[in-house]
Structure 1
Amino acid sequence: LFLSKLIPILDIILDYNINFADFIRLYAYFTPQLLLFALPMSSMMGVMLGTTQINNENELMVLKASGISLYRMLPPVILVALCTALLTGLFSIYLIPSGNRAKLDLAFQLAKEKIERSMHEKRFSESLGNIVLYADRIDQQTETWNGVYISDMRDSMHPVTIISETGIVSADSTTGTLSISLRNGTLNRNTSNAVQTIDFEQYEMILPLETPSTNPLAKTGKSTMNQSELLAEADRLGRNTQAAASYLNEFHERLALPVSCFILTLLGFPLGFLSGPRHKTVGIPLGLAIFILYYVLLTGATTASESLFMPASVAMWLPNIIFFVLTTLFIRSVAGERYTVYMEKFHDLTYAVLNKLRKREGESK
């Protein structure tokens, strides 16, 4: 989970050669995304491990003998679940969109700095591939180039040559452009039959920038929008259209994830008591399987909503409804001590499957 998020950071560090301060900023922007899925899992597993330890040391029997029921032990777990749910909501609704917008600004700033670092006085720069840059003098204070020469070979059939007195690189994350503002110069464009010459006082040359698919920093769209912007875009596209489904999914998913954190944390409470002398570690793998199952259901709900099979307001909340019912059943079963029979059957079934797999593996050898 963490490695899949850290790999884009490594690509950015190697590509842009960023300094330590930018690395700290970049990591801070990525941290909410790293914790969005790790926090619910760690909260559920923490509660589960705690109750497993209580059960394994027979403390549950002592508590019940003292007249303390399972339901009286729930309030601290509910408090932990509520705190982690609020923290998850802070990440999903506020910090992640803000971090994505900040990453976008940083992407253009790093691209701008990369071009500026490649420029040296009286030296040609080929850092932009088919665009060759040259500056006779560079003012380090104003970051202005003087005596600028540009050869644009992106269209090999119609190359463009630009000569201007001054130029300055500017980045605008709002419009998604990186450009060089040129003043007082001449543009020459070669065509098949002639050369076009244009004198200009000001000319804005748009520079090529990595697309969102190749630059993990420069991703735009719904990931940078807040909740009101998502609804506004869905209204603009028409809420019943397929184009608006992804925006509505994002809106409801940000709200559903904190609730799922609350439910999964509560679910860890009864799962911890599903251990015993014969199956001490059943609760932990079962908890991991249930956690994975939730996100499989969430992925299926997203697909169903985007295909307009069901509304986003229903699809994105359906996994939470299913797991809320499941959590309620588990808690009631554990509180009524009806879980032992089911766990014995589950334990025997698990061992039967494992034994069959071992026998098949032995026969194949």
Structure 2
Amino acid sequence: MNRLTAPFYRIHWPLIIYRHLWRECWDIFAVGLLAITVIVFMGRITRVMQMIITKGVSLIDIGKFCVLLLPYLLLFTVPMAAMIAVLITFLRLSNDNEIMALKTSGVSVLQLLPPILAFALVISSTALFFSLYATPWGNQEMRRLLSEVTKRRADLGIREQVFNNDFEHVVLFVNRVPTSGGPMEGVFLSDDRDPQVPITIAADKALLLFDLKSERLIMQLFQGRVLRLSEDATSFHSIEFETYQVPLELFKFVPKPKSEDEMFLGELRQALAQHKPGTLDYNKLLVELNRRFSLPVGACIMILIAMPLGISTQIKGRAVGLIMGLVIFLLYYLLLTAAWRLGQHAIIPPGLAPWLPDFIFLFLAWGLWRRSRRDIPIGAGAFEVKRWIKRKFMKTVDGGQ
């Protein structure tokens, strides 16, 4: 190799490898993200879809629900798919002896890190965007959409053939609630809001309408009878009607304060300043504020775990890589949930709680990289312990004989 060609090889030889690793990670990531998001999405949307389909809400609203649910799901599925992509990529390289070929060519494990590190930074930046902006926006819009749908279809909360006593001083029984949003049939209503003059209404049909001006519900009844007890409780008065309207407060559409998962970063900081340190509300806000940053950092750490894990694992098959990745992410999520609960109740410092899984997995990443650089496969330690126990056991048996 002459002096003219040497720089060419030194520059372009790693770039070919980097481009290959970069493309393979993104290809597997795209497929994995689609599959995992669909699976998780179907599990989350089932309950909402049951209510929507059975109550006849429009397809447009169904589409809006699906779109608004995606940011929260992608906050978790993007890091999961990225970690699995890196793990499967290096499992394949290791099983096909490509890692061994690269090492014999003078390429170390650390020299393969730049494209994976760049991939991890892109994923972490994406997770940070979802954590700080997309997820709070989706949660806010989801609550607003639920409120609008409930106002337009006030009968969504009415269960048929059940005495609905969830409403203050009102008991409502409906024999049939049509899914298409038409009139309810076989309506019985007991109204004790005025304890001096309670009334009972029975009607063949009824409609629940939302009055935008008064911000309250109106029940319009058809073909029925009103039974009213006299003030001295000695007689009943019965009145038949063709149409009759009863104002109701079945749902209170009073604006509720935002929950911590609906707040943007500035709103979280303002809310923290309004609460006393040490209180439950303060701890919740502080945990949520730190969680917004710990999740993207955790995504980067898990990708850095996946690379040495894929290199050092002597097991073939992409299914194994998928299972390993899911198990690792599940452990991270369980640790995050436990730390989140402990932080809210100040069992551990609330500001430190969301970072605890990151510290644990960072230590795990350091251990895996150390083993990978020394070419120690995963499971070698367990094999050595097993061989040591067997040797000690055989010595004991021979000594006893």
Larger Rg: 1 or 2? 2
5+ long unaligned stretches in structure 2:
1-39, 157-163, 174-187, 201-207, 219-227, 234-246, 387-401
Q: Which of 87, 91, 95 lines up with 1:52 in the alignment?
A: 91
- State the Cα distance separating 1:51 from its structure 2 match: 0.3
5+ long unaligned stretches in structure 1:
118-126, 133-150, 162-166, 182-188, 195-204, 212-217, 351-365
Q: Which of 208, 211, 216 lines up with 1:179 in the alignment?
A: 216
Letter in 2 for 1:208: L
1:273 aligns to 2:311 (yes or no): yes
How far apart in 2 are the matches of 1:245 and 1:190?
A: 53
Aligned pair in 2 of structure 1 residues 348, 46: CA closer, same or farther (>3 Å)?
A: farther
1:146-192: CA deviation from partner (whole Å, max 9, x where unpaired):
xxxxx97453645479xxxxx983569xxxx95259xxxxxxx9895
Q: Is the 8 A contact 1:178 1:209 kept in 2?
A: no
Aligned pair in 2 of structure 1 residues 247, 191: CA closer, same or farther (>3 Å)?
A: farther
Report the counterpart of residue 326 of structure 1 in structure 2: 364
How far apart in 1 are the matches of 2:151 and 2:301?
A: 45
How far apart in 1 are the matches of 2:346 and 2:275?
A: 14
How far apart in 2 are the matches of 1:346 and 1:210?
A: 61
Q: Which of 379, 385, 391 lines up with 1:343 in the alignment?
A: 379
Letter in 2 for 1:262: C
Report the counterpart of residue 30 of structure 1 in structure 2: 69
Q: Which of 279, 284, 296 lines up with 2:334 in the alignment?
A: 296
Report the counterpart of residue 121 of structure 2 in structure 1: 82
- State the Cα distance separating 1:271 from its structure 2 match: 0.8
- State the Cα distance separating 1:343 from its structure 2 match: 2.1
SS at match of 2:45: helix
Letter in 1 for 2:249: L
Q: Is the 8 A contact 1:179 1:207 kept in 2?
A: yes
Aligned pair in 2 of structure 1 residues 322, 13: CA closer, same or farther (>3 Å)?
A: same
How far apart in 2 are the matches of 1:271 and 1:236?
A: 45
SS at match of 1:239: coil
- State the Cα distance separating 1:286 from its structure 2 match: 4.3
Q: Is the 8 A contact 1:104 1:220 kept in 2?
A: no
Q: Is the 8 A contact 1:274 1:283 kept in 2?
A: no
Aligned pair in 2 of structure 1 residues 115, 316: CA closer, same or farther (>3 Å)?
A: closer
Q: How does 1:126-141 map to 2 (within 5 A)?
A: 130=171
How far apart in 1 are the matches of 2:385 and 2:325?
A: 17
Report the counterpart of residue 259 of structure 2 in structure 1: 221
1:208 aligns to 2:244 (yes or no): no
- State the Cα distance separating 1:12 from its structure 2 match: 3.6
1:179-224: CA deviation from partner (whole Å, max 9, x where unpaired):
259xxxxxxx989559xxxxxxxxxx6632389xxxxxx9952222
Q: Is the 8 A contact 1:273 1:283 kept in 2?
A: no
Q: Is the 8 A contact 2:80 2:325 kept in 1?
A: no
Aligned pair in 2 of structure 1 residues 231, 311: CA closer, same or farther (>3 Å)?
A: farther
- State the Cα distance separating 1:270 from its structure 2 match: 0.6
How far apart in 2 are the matches of 1:348 and 1:110?
A: 63
Q: Is the 8 A contact 1:253 1:316 kept in 2?
A: yes
**Identical aligned residues as a percent:** 27
What is the number of equivalent residue pairs in this alignment? 296
How far apart in 2 are the matches of 1:286 and 1:30?
A: 27
Report the counterpart of residue 148 of structure 1 in structure 2: none
1:19-42: CA deviation from partner (whole Å, max 9, x where unpaired):
222111110000112222222111
Q: CA RMSD in A?
A: 4.0
